[in-house]
Amino acid sequence: MTTQQTPPPATPTDGPEPSPAAGATHRRSAVAPGAVSLDLAAQAPELSNSVGEYLRAWVKRIRSGESGLLPVVGGLLILGIIFQVKSHYFLTAGNLTNLLVQGAVFVLLGMAEIWVLLLGEIDLSIGYVAGIGGVVTAILAAPPDNFPWWAAILIALAVTAAIGALQGALVILLGLPSFIVTLAGLLGWEGVLLYLVNGHGTGGTIRLSNSVLLDLSNGNLSPVASWVVMVAGVAAFGAVTILRDRHRRVSGLVAPPMAVSVAKVVLVAVAGVGLVLITNVNRSVIGNLRGLPYVVLIILGFLAAWTFVLGRTRFGRYVYAIGGNPEATRRAGVSLGWNRLWAFTLTGLTAGAAGILYTSRLGSISNNIDGGTLVLYAVAAAVIGGTSLFGGRGRMVHALLGGLVIATIYNGMGLIGLAADYQYMLTALVLLAAVTADALARRGRAKA
Amino acid sequence: MSIATDTSTPGLAGGAGGPLLGLRGITKTFGAVQALNGVDLDVPAGQITALVGDNGAGKSTLIKTVSGIWAPSDGVISWEGRPVEVHTPRDADDLGIATVYQDLALCDNLDIVQNMFLGHELLTRRLLDEATMEKTAKQTLADLSVTTVQSVRQPVGSLSGGQRQSVAVARAVMRDAKLVIMDEPTAALGVSQTAQVLDLIHRLGERGIAVLVISHNLTDVFEVADRIAVLYLGRLVSSGPIADYDTQRTVELITTGGSSTRSDGNGTGNGTAESKD
Ligand SMILES: Nc1ncnc2c1ncn2[C@@H]1O[C@H](COP(=O)(O)OP(=O)(O)OP(=O)(O)O)[C@@H](O)[C@H]1O
Ligand SMILES: [Mg+2]
C-alpha cells in the first residue's frame, strides 16, 4: 500500500541527508529570529488556556457552518422528548436497550458508508453486501460445514471485503462513477444473496444455530462485568484524552483548554454510567435479563478502531485529502488508487460485520431482506450525523449518532402505533434537513 | 547525487558541471492546441531562473511537465546530466523537485499543518507524528514571516488568498529539495509577504538550491533572478544571464517574441545560455 512510501527527510532528525550544503541546517538557517517571536506572539491567544477564548472560537466555527455534533445531539433529544410524551414506554430501560440493539445495524452500516462518503464517492450496494456477510456466516456455521463461529465470521468478512475491493477496483481502474458500479452491485448482490439462500436454506431462510453467533446481538455481559467494562473504557478514554491534550499544551501546540478536555471526559463518563444503569435494569417480564448487550461493545469497538485509523494513520489522512481535493493530493505524490481501494474494501468489510449482527439479531437470514432500504438508512445515518455527501468531511461518530436518530424514529414510531408509512416519511424529512444543512454549510464555506 | 551542490558555489554563475535540470525539445499538445513547441531550457544549480511570458505562453504547462503532472508529448528531461522519466508527481519528488502551483493545489478541508505535510507525513511508530509536524510547520511559517494566521490548525479553506499562497510556498520550501519551482508565488501576496518570498528565493539560491520562478512582475524578476528565460506562444525565444537583459528588451520579447530585434544577449561565454526561435 502506498502509505508505506518513505518521504524524503523533512526534519533534521529524520534520517540521513544526502545533500551536505542544503541538508540539516536548511530550515534552521532560514529562521529570522525576529520573525519567530513575532509568530509565537501571534499564536499566543489561541494557545491560552482560557475557556472563554475556546468557546468564542467554537461559536465562530458554528456560525461558519462547522456545527459539529450539536444538531444531531439536539435532534436526538427532541425526538426522545416527543416519543416519551406520546408513549410512556419509550424511556423505559427495556425499550432503550432494545433501541440500541436495533440501531446497531444502522450504525455499523453508516460507518461502512462513511469510508466512501469521505472520498466523495457512494456505495449503494452495502445493504445486500451486508446480507451476503450474514448468509455466508450462517451457511458456514451450519451443517454440513460446521465451521467454528470465528472462522465463519472471518471468512464472511473476507468475502464482503473482497466485494468492496472489487467494486472499488471497477471505479478506480475503469473510471466509472461509484454511483453506477454500486447500483449494479445493489442488483447483482441481491441476486447472489437469493441464489445462496435458496440453495442452502429451507423455505427461503437460513437459520443460525450457533450460540455464540446468536449472542452477538442477543447476549449481554453480567451486570458486574458491565460496570467493570464501562469503567475501564471510560478510564482509557479519559487517560488518552487528558494526557494527549496536556502533552500538546505543554509542547506549545494547538490544544483545547484543560477545562474542555475534562468536560469531554465527564460527558463520556456520564453517558457510560447512564448506559450501564439503563442496561442493568431487568428488562425481562418473566426471567432475569440484565447487563450491557455485547452488540454495544462491538459497535464501540468499531468506532474506536475506525476513528483511530482515520485520525492517526497516513491512510486515514489521505482519505480526507482525496475527498477534499483529489488533484492536489495526486500532486502531493499520493497514490489515489491504492488509498481509494482500501477505503472501498473497508466499506465492504464493515458492511459484512453489520450483516452478521443483523442475522444474529433475527436468528436467521431470509431472502426477503430489504437491502435497498438498509443502504438508504446507512447513508441517512452518516449524513444526519454530520458527514458530508460532498467528500472530505465526516467522522465515524457521525454514524453512531445518526444511526441512533434513525433507530429512535423507527422504534418510537412503532411504539406509538404509526406504521412504516409514517416512519419512512419522518425519516425522509430528517434526512432532507440533514442534507440541506450539509449543502448550506458548504455554501457558507465557499462564500467565506 | 551531490553533483549539484558540489559545483554550485553560492552566487557563482554557470557551473562547469552542467545544469541541474535540462530540457530538450519539450513539446506539449492539448488536442489541437500546441502549448509548448520544442522548448530547450537549462536550470543551473544554485541559481535563480525566472521564466517569463505572456498569459497563455505555456509557462505553467512547462513546469507541469517537469513536475510530473503530465508527460510531455515529445522531448527529453535530464536531471544532473542524466536523462530521466518524470511520469508522476512522486517521480519529481524523488528527484528533489518541489513545486508551488499557480492554483496552489491545497486541500481546503485539511488544516495548515496537514496541507504542508501532505504526502510527506512524519511518522513515529507508523502513526502520524502530529507534534513534530505542527512544530515544524509553525517554524517554517515563522521563517516566512507569516504571522497573520490565527492557528496552524485552521482549515486552509478558511484562509485568505495570500495566506493560502504562503502555505503553498511554505509547503514547497519546507522540504530539502534541490529545485524549487514556483508558479507566480507572489501573485496574491501583500508588500511585506512578497518581500519575504523574494528574500526566501534569494536564500534558497545561496544555499545551492536551484529556483525556477514564474512571475509577471518584472521588477521582482530583475530583483531576484540570476537568469531569465522568455516563452512566447509555446517557444523559448530567449534565455541568458539577467545582466544581458533590461526591462524594455524583456517586455519586447514577452509581447512580440523578439521578432523585431534579433536577440544578441545569448551565448555570453558560460555555455549555458540558449536561444531558440
Ligand atoms: N489542460 C489543458 N487542456 C487544454 N489546453 C490547455 C490546458 N492547459 C493549458 N492549456 C493551454 O495551453 C496554453 C498555455 O497555458 P499555460 O497555462 O501554460 O499558460 P501560462 O503561460 O501559464 O499563462 P498564465 O500567465 O496566464 O498563467 C494555453 O493556450 C492554454 O489554453
Ligand atoms: Mg500559468
Q: pLDDT per position in chain A (448 positions), as tens?
A: 344 444 443 333 333 333 333 333 333 333 333 332 233 333 333 444 577 777 777 776 666 556 677 778 888 899 899 999 988 888 888 899 989 998 999 999 999 999 999 999 999 999 999 999 999 999 999 888 889 999 999 999 999 999 999 999 999 999 999 999 999 999 999 999 999 999 887 888 999 989 999 999 999 999 999 999 999 999 999 999 999 989 888 888 888 888 888 998 999 999 999 999 999 998 887 878 889 999 999 999 999 999 999 999 999 999 999 999 999 999 999 999 999 999 999 999 999 999 999 999 999 999 888 888 899 999 999 998 989 988 999 999 999 999 999 999 888 888 888 877 888 888 788 778 878 877 777 676 665 4
**Mean pLDDT within B98-106:** 91
Tell me which of A18-27, A89-98, B52-61, B160-169 is least confident: A18-27
**Residues B39, B236: Cα–Cα separation, whole Å:** 5
- In a shared domain, residues A29 and A120: no
* Shortest-distance atom of ligand 1 to CA B54: 25
Does residue B56 sit within a domain? yes
CA distance B106 to chain A (A): 6
In a domain, B271, yes or no: no
Tell whether A47 and A120 lie within a shared domain: no
Shared domain for A28 and A107, answered yes or no, is no
Kindly state whether residue B48 falls inside one of the protein's structural domains.
yes
Does residue A289 sit within a domain?
A: no
Residue A361 shares a structural domain with residue A340: yes
Confidence of residue B173 (pLDDT cuts 50, 70, 90): confident
Size of interface A-B (CB pairs under 8 A): 177
Higher confidence at residue B24 or residue B15?
B24
**Grid cell for residue A35:** 520573525
CATH no. for residue A348?
Answer: 1.10.3470
Residue B216 within a domain: yes
Q: What is the ipTM of this complex?
A: 0.84
- Indicate whether B6 belongs to any domain: no
Tell how far CA B208 is from the center of its chain: 14
A44 and A187 inside one domain: no
CB contact under 8 A, B105 and A64: no
Nearest-CA distance A313 → chain B (Å): 5
Closest CA to A111 of A330, A357, A321, A312: A357
Range of the domain at A34: 17-64
Question: What's B179's domain CATH number?
Answer: 3.40.50.300
DSSP run (H or E) holding A205: strand A205-207
Nearest to A331 among B101, B148, B176 (CB): B101
B239 located within any domain: yes
Residues A53 and A138 occupy one common structural domain? no
pLDDT of residue A439: 77
Model confidence over B112-148: pLDDT tens digits?
999 999 999 999 999 999 999 999 999 988 887 777 7
Q: Is residue A191 part of a domain?
A: yes
Whether residues A40 and A124 share a domain: the answer is no
Residue B264 has pLDDT above 70, yes or no: no
- Summarize the confidence of residues B30-34 as an average pLDDT: 90
Q: Kindly determine whether residue B207 and residue A27, on different chains, have CB atoms separated by under 8 Å.
A: no
- pLDDT at residue A179 in the model: 94
Q: Is B56 in the pocket of ligand 1 (CB under 6 A)?
A: yes
First to last CA, chain A: 37
Concatenated DSSP letters for chain B? --HHHHH--TT--S-TT--SEEEEEEEEEETTEEEEEEEEEEE-TT-EEEEEE-TTSSHHHHHHHHTTSS--SEEEEEETTEEE---SHHHHHHHTEEEE-TT----TTSBHHHHHTTT---EETTEE-HHHHHHHHHHHHHHTT----S-TTSBGGGS-HHHHHHHHHHHHHHS--SEEEEESTTTT--HHHHHHHHHHHHHHHHTT-EEEEE-S-HHHHHHH-SEEEEEETTEEEEEEEGGG--HHHHHHHHHHTT-SS-------SSS------
Residues A49, A79 within the same domain: no
State the best of A5, A13, A64, A331 to mutate against chain B, taking most chain B CBs within 10 Å.
A331
Per-position DSSP letters for B73-89, written without gaps between them: SEEEEEETTEEE---SH
Interface of B with A in 114-153 (CB under 8 A): 114, 117-123, 126-128, 130-132, 134-136, 138-153
Residues sharing a CB contact under 8 Å with residue A156, sequence separation 6 or more, in sequence order = A132, A133, A134, A136, A137, A140, A352, A355, A356
Choose the residue to mutate in B29, B54, B59 for probing ligand 1, maximizing ligand atoms within 8 Å of C-beta. Answer: B59
* Chain A residues with CB-CB distance to B94 below 8 A: 8
- The residue among B47, B67, B143 with the most chain A CBs within 10 A of its CB, best to mutate, is B143
B87 to chain A, any CB pair closer than 8 A? The answer is no
Domain membership flag for residue A248: no
pLDDT computed for residue A426 by the predictor: 81
Q: Is residue A255 part of a domain?
A: no
Ligand 1, pocket-test mutation among B27, B29, B30, most atoms within 8 A of CB: B30
A143 and A33 assigned to the same domain = no
A87 and A43 share a domain? no
For residue B101 and ligand 1, the question of a CB distance below 6 A is answered with no
Looking at ligand 1, which atom is closest to the CA of residue B57?
21
Whether the Cβ atoms of residue A378 and residue A426 lie closer than 8 Å to each other: no
pLDDT at A287 (0 to 100): 79
Asked whether residue B29 carries a pLDDT value surpassing 90, the answer given is yes
Q: Which one of A2, A14, A19 would you mutate to disrupt binding with B, by most B Cβ within 10 Å of its Cβ?
A: A19
Helices then strands, counting H and E runs in chain A, come out as 18, 2
Is A17 part of the contact surface with chain B (CB cutoff 8 Å)? Answer: yes
d(CA B241, CA B264): 12
Is residue A223 a part of any domain in this protein?
A: no
Residues A60 and A75 in one domain: no
d(CA A62, CA A312): 25
Q: Which of A103-117, B23-37, B192-206, B252-266 is least confident? A: B252-266
The DSSP-derived string for A285-313 is SSS---S-BHHHHHHHHHHHHHHHHHHHS
Per the structure, the complete domain to which residue B45 belongs is given by: 21-264
Interface contact A22-B157, CB threshold 8 A? no
B118 and A392 within 8 Å at the Cβ level: the answer is no
DSSP bridge partners of B28: B36
pLDDT the model gives residue A321:
97
Query: How many structural domains comprise chain B?
Result: 1
Q: Report the interhelical angle of A178-200 vs A126-141 (nearest 10°).
A: 30
**Ligand 1: nearest atom to the Cα of B62:** 18
Within a domain: B275: no
Neighbouring C-alpha atoms within 13 Å toward the C-beta of A399: 33
Residue nearest ligand 1's atom 2 by CA = B30
Report how many domains make up chain A.
2
Specify whether A198 is located in the same domain as A326: yes
